[in-house]
Amino acid sequence: MLKLILRVLLAAFIVFILPALATAAWWMTVERPGNWRSADWSSSGLLPTPDGDTEAAVYVLGARTGGLKGAFSLHTWIVLKRAGAGYDRYDKVGWGSPIRKNTRPADGFWYSNAPFVIQSLRGQAAEDLIPKVEQAITTYPFSQPGAYRVWPGPNSNSFVAYVIDAVPELGARLPSNAVGRDFPVGLWRLEWQDQSKDLRGSIAGLVGFSLGRSGIEFQFLGLVAGVDFIHPALLVPAFGRVGLWPF
């Protein structure tokens, strides 16, 4: 029995901890601001200006977070835009009232890290889903002051993942290195995702799995290792996707 436990621990160290430590070593070489005051939070120019784009849109955006946390995780947020209107940005943060609206530019840098689009919908499809997304935001169960925990959740990624799960028509899935995305509302969950055809399970956001059409994932202490079948890639703990195309 002891040998089995040791083998499991060794496997977890090789598969999860070593890649995370390697990513942390890489992150230490990246130039970044010393604190949030000196960081760039301005618009990155990633999204079109509302004046030049009258279509409705829904975006899920993400960027590496700040400090040492950036070695291991992203910060993600949601952007909504009705036809002919401006952008509304929704984040969950770790201070004050957690769910914030329009405290930063819709496509702003996060701790000087450039954002990227995780998923987007435009036109009538986006217009139709905006009320559902707004409803999911208002019903998020961890929206009261103090309901934030960096690890394993509920954090910013737990919030965005909740909205995505509540509105499967978005067709989104947060990246594997968005720590907290698998944090369940209760102690645990085991559910079939009809949209993606995946079976997903998690215990307290600490250990879990996902198995189905989109790939295979194993979760350990918030880190994810696996394989993406739809867009062939290895999912490396902390680092994220490593593309396998062409083979």
Give the rounded distance of the alpha carbon of 146 from its chain centre.
20
Q: What are phi and psi of 70, to 5 degrees?
A: -65, -20
Determine if the pTM surpasses 0.75: yes
Per-residue pLDDT of 194-229, as tens digits, reads 888 899 999 999 999 999 998 999 999 999 999 999
Task: Kindly give, in sequence order, each residue whose CB lies less than 8 Å from that of residue 136, ignoring residues fewer than 6 positions away.
Answer: 162, 163, 166, 167
pLDDT at 123 (0 to 100): 96
Query: How many residues does this entry show for the chain?
Result: 247
Work out the percent of the chain whose per-residue pLDDT is above 90. 83
Per-residue pLDDT of 88-103, as tens digits, reads 999 999 888 899 999 9
pLDDT at 94 (0 to 100): 86
Per-residue pLDDT of 100-125, as tens digits, reads 999 999 999 999 999 999 999 999 99
Per-residue pLDDT of 127-148, as tens digits, reads 999 999 999 999 999 999 999 9
CA dist., res. 132 & res. 70, Å (int): 31
Q: Are strands 223-228 and 233-236 parallel, antiparallel or unpaired?
A: antiparallel
